[in-house]
Amino acid sequence: MSELTAVGKPIQRVDAEEKITGQAVYGYDLVLPDMLYGKTLFSPKAHARIKRINTEKAKAYPGVVAVVTAEDAPWTHGETVKDKPFLAQGKVRCIGEPVAAVAAEDEDTAEAAVKLIEVEYEDLPVYTDPEEACKPGCVEIHEDFGKYRKADFIVKGAAPNVAEHFKLRTGDVDIGFKQSDVIVEERYFVPIIQHAAMEPHSAHAQFDKESGRLTIWVANDAPFRALHEITEALGMPKEKIRFINPLQGGGFGSKGGLKVEPIAVALAFHTNGRPVRVKFNREETFISTLTRHEAVVYSKTGVKKDGTLMARAMTIYWGAGAYAEKSPTVCIRGSLPAPGPYRIPHVKVDGYAVYTNKPVAGSYRGYGIPQGAWAGEQQMDEIAKRLGMDPIAIRMKNMFVEGDISYWGEQLHAVGLKETLVKATEAIDWGKPTKTAKPGVKIGKGFACIQKPTRSPTTSAAGVLVNAKGEVTVLAGTVEIGQGCNTILSQVAAEELKVPLERVHMHQLDTDVIPFDASTTSSRSTYHMGNAVRRASIHAREQIMEAAGPMLEAKVQDLGYADGKVFLKDQPQQALPIGEVVRRKLGIHGKVRGDGSYTYEIGKDLDLETGHSDHASAFYMYATQAAEVEVDEESGRVRVLRMSAAHDVGKAINPLNCVAQIEGGVVMGIGSALHEELVIDNTGKVRNPSFLDYHLVTSLDTPELIPIVVECPEPEGPYGAKGLGEPGLAPTPAAIGNAVTDAVGVRVYDLPLKPENVYWAIRKKKKDAA
Amino acid sequence: MKMNIQFSLNGKSISRDVPTHRLLLDLLRDEIGVTGTKEGCGTGDCGACTVFLNGKPVNSCLVLSGELDGAEIVTIEGLKIGPELHPIQKTFLQDGGAQCGYCTPGMLMMSKALLDENPNPSEEEIRFALAGNLCRCTGYAKIVQAVQDAAALLRNR
């Protein structure tokens, strides 16, 4: 391969300038001509039948243009289970479920009118605990589940409220435990947290009666999924619906799927063609968008005296909240690798996605891996302790290496795990004495390893235009949510067309003109869209070279390509810039278009009885993070002193961006480890829906960060790249948990590691000792 | 109740009839159409809407329009020095201080406020000054770096 000119370089972000000058227009900023203002009425009840809705007063309020309820929008949607109404139909299933909406001439009017809508409810039993909600005798939150349209792979559980039951069966765990010398069994808990992207949620919609076209402006990170779901729900042809993506102020998984969009669409059909904007404020964003799955994880591990893992059995209850959204796939893809990146002959996993009367859980950076790792990686340390083994040694003995067959039956390649473990632990001086702490304060170290699959199989397609000035425009459906995809994809196009990065421009995301992309999720974009843009760029280059042949009076095989020019191999001074070739071929307004797409061809689908697949993921990401913490024994307060994070990215297309992703991920992980928790009482009410009460990490709470990029190339990836966005926070809580145990000798099984949880664990140990 | 207010926005004088309860944030974004100032929470907890009001940084979601008569307001759109980026903007670019960019305008305004007062802040002082500005993307490391580098640029001018 010729030397790389753009890929692998620590290039500064291509989208930063508009962001630092305030010129960038986000979804929440968008003001459309003649726009109406929407306001939503949310359910105050966690589970209730709707007996009556009266909208008369709201409709009569001066300045109100439309009031809508389920009667006006009798549609449902959902990614794998079509269970979610645009507006509540007949019953509500969580506090914060949209029930009705108003469009008015201004915000104040909309707000006043929405308060005039009267709804009468009849209470139903409220379930706020996923383990309780699937006990025999519980009322079904979705009594019509059997009638919903759903994906083929959904396996409804036998127990009440189980939307998906995932099974993994390898070997025979009973035999494995019999052959084990030591068995450890515990229950772990991970609470609900929220993405809390800095930009709250909003959507704009406009329906033009004459053309029958519906346009939706929304910062959604999977516009083609949204297009498909809206199309399917409304029964409208795809060509009649258009999604336009303004810039997105963070997402972390919260901005896929439909939340505000259906409300805006429902209103848009009743505004005589005027566009309507529906914004959720921060509190509404907390209660009515998406959350991360709470999880109860029972884990049992058997091991030989020499540290060889023999068996692992896990039962995981994933709290889905009121609607299925991504729960079936989080349950599958989070439960599958939950036993950890190790060779284990006997494995049994049961994952249950359980409906509750809480806000809807959806995709969240890490997609189920943090929950499994919180249990599995702490249990690895427990086993090591029982055996008197070093935590590194036990992992080294069992961890996946190149060529291993995983417990789900897939041969693994490009496994950079060992290097991440060595580098992350070295970076915090593992095994060396820690500095002495103040009296009453204990210092400890810990680490955790993860392996993360990506959503498979999926497709990304891209177009690359080269104009007569030699400027390049990339048409890609990957959404710039802050992760830096516009920079990465520009680098790929610049690399293949050998043009300076300044000459590459990313087209705005508009489903009318941009080729299909599955989603900006699952750390899939660099690999899938990277491959698609690379292929499209090569396709454009080939067309330019072909066109240049007659111009240079040469055959294509006698032409070379470098520095944005086509030249004669034996007379390199005879060269034509690519823009010149386009101009001569197609005129000054001409454009050469290259197209490319990439689909990861999955092997056999996951077997529904065993969970086995010979190819469950296009690639796997590996990481180890290591923490040094101090714990105040008096108060239970945990402070992270330093944190290393070594991530196998395959190939760093932009090392600067890799470091940025790792740092951001780790800090998000620290928040989820130490203090983040969406507190929901037993009536289903969120008690802390504000940044005052929901504690995000601030600039004062972050420790010394040591990001480490490991490159174990993935042969199918563009230039060897894998993905990186999600794993950044996945091992973090388990690494900190292990460090806390190292410091104070007690284990805390429930996240977050807030002072009271740690305090009571220390107290209990002292009591037991006495 | 509406009242007429006259104020200066990024050096330009503006006269408006506005409801007195209209928040400065909404006045800027929805009525004047200057959307560089971001809304993150609307309750003064995240700092995304930080602007300068009479030379002091404030959360514009906590200021009522009725208070603005005669005021001098500077937003992110007024941070440049003529056609030149302000040093804090330059270092945010160079150090990767912005990812999704939504907290960035507020972060920049608060950083400028710090540097106006303290041209040589320690890391701790920077972290303290920015503690009311939430960022969910960066983990703050690159932001703190950018403020340190901007301080050096300003000192060497």
pLDDT at A603: 67
Same domain, residue pair A438 and A563: no
Q: Domain boundary at B47, B77, B107, which?
A: B77
Residue A17 C-alpha, separation from nearest chain B C-alpha, in angstroms: 7
- Clarify whether residues A159 and A70 are in a common domain: no
Check B99 against A668: CB less than 8 A apart: no
Q: Decide if pLDDT at A1 tops 50.
A: no
Same domain, A111 and A132: no
| % of chain B at pLDDT higher than 70 | 100
B33 neighbourhood in chain A, CB within 8 Å = 31
Report pLDDT digits (tens) over B3-18: 999 999 999 999 999 9
- Chain A closest CA to B145's CA: distance in Å? 12
pLDDT, residue B87, reads 97
- Min Cα distance A523 → chain B (Å) is 15
Query: CB of B41 within 8 Å of any CB in chain A?
Result: yes
Domain with A723, as residue range(s), is 419-452+621-770
pLDDT of A18 reads 97
The Cα-based distances of A620 to A449, A533, B1 in angstroms read 13, 21, 60
The string of pLDDT tens digits covering residues A352-399 is 999 999 999 999 999 999 999 999 999 999 999 999 999 999 999 999
Q: How far is B119 from chain A (nearest CA, A)?
A: 19
Alpha helices in A23-143 (DSSP H): 56-60, 107-114, 130-133
CB-based contact, A33 to chain B, within 8 Å: no
Percent of chain A with pLDDT over 90: 97
B104 and B124 share one domain: yes
Q: In this structure, are residues A451 and A622 in contact, taking their beta carbons and an 8 Å threshold?
A: yes
Position A614 in a domain:
no
Question: What predicted TM-score, i.e. pTM, was given to this entire model?
Answer: 0.97
pLDDT by residue (tens digit) across A435-478? Answer: 777 899 999 999 999 999 999 999 999 999 999 999 999 999 99
Kindly tell me if the per-residue pLDDT of A54 is higher than 90.
Answer: yes
Do A498 and A594 lie in one domain? The reply is yes
Subunit contact B137:A250, Cβ cutoff 8 A: yes
Are A576 and A447 in a shared domain? no
Shortest distance, CA B70 to any CA of chain A (angstroms): 24
* Cis ω for the linkage preceding A752 (within 30 of 0): yes
B45: number of CA atoms within 13 Å, CB side?
18
Which are the contacts of A143, defined by CB distance < 8 A and separation ≥ 6?
none
Query: What b/e readout covers A396-435, taking b as 16+ CB neighbours within 10 angstroms?
Result: ebbbbeeebebbbbbebebbbbbbbbbbbbbbbebeeebe
Q: How many distinct structural domains can be found in chain B?
A: 2
Alpha-carbon dihedral of residues A476, A479, A483, A486, nearest 10 degrees? 30
Is the same domain home to B125 and B149? yes
Q: Does B55 touch chain A (CB under 8 A)?
A: no
| CA distances to A145, A262, A306, B88 from A85, in Å | 13, 9, 55, 47
Position A498 in a domain: yes
This complex has an ipTM of 0.98
- pLDDT attached to residue A627: 98
Residue A412 lies in a domain: no
| Co-location of A115 and A133 in the same domain | no
- Give B72-90 pLDDT, tens digit per residue: 999 999 999 999 999 999 9
> What is the arithmetic mean of pLDDT over A750-755?
98
Give the mean pLDDT of B58-69.
96
Smallest CA–CA distance, residue B22 to chain A, in Å, is: 10
Q: Who among B35, B108, B130 is closest to A20 (CB)?
A: B108
Q: In this structure, are B10 and B71 located in the same domain?
A: yes
CA angle B3–B8–B9, rounded 5-degree value? 105
Asked if A679 reaches chain B (Cβ–Cβ under 8 Å), the answer is no
Q: Which two tokens stand for residue A22?
A: 């305030």
Tell me the residue type at A286.
Answer: F
CB contact under 8 A, B89 and A31: no
Question: Is A755 found in the same domain as A635?
Answer: yes
- Chain A closest-CA separation from residue B98 CA (Å): 7
* Residue A105 pLDDT > 60: yes
Q: How confident is the model over B90-125, as pLDDT tens digits?
A: 999 999 999 999 999 999 999 999 999 999 999 999
Cβ of B139 within 8 Å of Cβ of A247? The answer is no
Q: Judge if B12 and B72 occupy the same domain.
A: yes
- Between A and B, how many residue pairs show a Cβ–Cβ distance under 8 A? 171
Whether residue A62 sits in one domain with residue A166: no
Percent of chain A with pLDDT over 70: 99
Please indicate, yes or no, if residue A607 is contained in any of the structural domains: no
Q: Which of B30, B45, B77 is the last residue of a domain?
A: B77
Output the pLDDT for position A433. Answer: 85
| A247 CB within 8 Å of a chain B CB | yes
Domain CATH number, residue B51: 3.10.20.30
A487-497 pLDDT, tens digit each: 999 999 999 99
A509 φ/ψ sector (left φ>0, alpha ψ -120 to 50, else beta): beta
B104 contact A CB<8A: yes
Residue of chain B minimizing CA distance to A280: B41
Chain B residue numbers touching A520 (CB-CB < 8 A): none
**Residues on chain B touching A251 (C-beta within 8 angstroms):** 100
Q: What is the mean pLDDT of chain A?
A: 97
Please give the residue range of the domain that contains residue B56: 2-77
Residue A12: its chain B contacts at CB < 8 A?
93-94, 96
Q: What is the CATH number of the domain that holds A168?
A: 3.30.365.10
Chain A residues touching residue B126 (CB < 8 angstroms): 699
A751 three-state secondary structure: coil
A184 domain residue, yes or no? yes
Residues B115, B56 share a domain = no
For the range A512-515, what are the long-range contacts, defined as Cβ-Cβ under 8 Å and sequence gap of 24 or more?
A512/A242, A513/A475, A514/A463, A514/A475, A514/A476, A514/A477, A515/A461, A515/A462, A515/A463, A515/A475, A515/A476, A515/A477, A515/A595, A515/A597
d(CA B20, nearest CA chain A) in Å: 13
pLDDT per residue as tens digits for the range A246-300: 999 999 999 999 999 999 999 999 999 999 999 999 999 999 999 999 999 999 9
Say if A272 falls within a structural domain.
yes
User: Quick one: pLDDT at residue A437?
Assistant: 78
* Most A CBs within 10 Å, among B51, B136, B142, to test the A interface: B136
Query: Do B92 and B143 belong together in one domain?
Result: yes
* Residue in A closest to B108 by C-alpha: A20
Kindly report the number of other CB atoms within 10 A of residue A60's CB atom.
11
According to DSSP H, which parts of A313-471 are helical?
A: 327-335, 369-387, 391-398, 417-427
Q: Which residues on chain A are in Cβ contact (under 8 Å) with B39?
A: 28, 200
Shared domain for B8 and B68, answered yes or no, is yes
- A contact test, residue of B59, B100, B109 with most A CBs within 10 A: B100
| Residue A604 confidence (pLDDT) | 74
B102 in reach of chain A (CB within 8 A): yes
What is the pLDDT at residue B51?
98
Contact A261, A216 (CB under 8 A): yes
For residue B19, the chain A residue with the least C-alpha distance is A108
Q: Is the pLDDT of residue A2 over 80?
A: no
DSSP state of A457: S
Give yes or no for B30 touching A (CB within 8 A): yes
Residues A684 and A648 in one domain: yes
The answer to whether B62 contacts chain A (CB < 8 Å) is no
Distance from CA of B156 to the nearest CA of A (A): 22
Note whether residue A547 is domain-resident.
yes
Domain boundary among A248, A279, A310: A279
Mean pLDDT of A670-691: 98
Nearest CA in chain A to B126: A699
Give B6→chain A minimum CA distance, Å.
Answer: 23
Decide if A667 touches B, using CB distance below 8 A. Answer: yes
Q: What is the pLDDT of residue A760?
A: 96
β A459-467/A472-476 pair status: antiparallel
Query: pLDDT digit string (tens) for A124-178?
Result: 999 999 999 999 999 999 999 999 999 999 999 999 999 999 999 999 999 999 9
Nearest C-alpha in B relative to A197:
B136
Residue A632, SS3?
Answer: strand
Whether residue B141 and residue A107 make contact (CB cut-off 8 A), yes or no, is no
Residue A691 forms contact with B (CB below 8 Å): yes
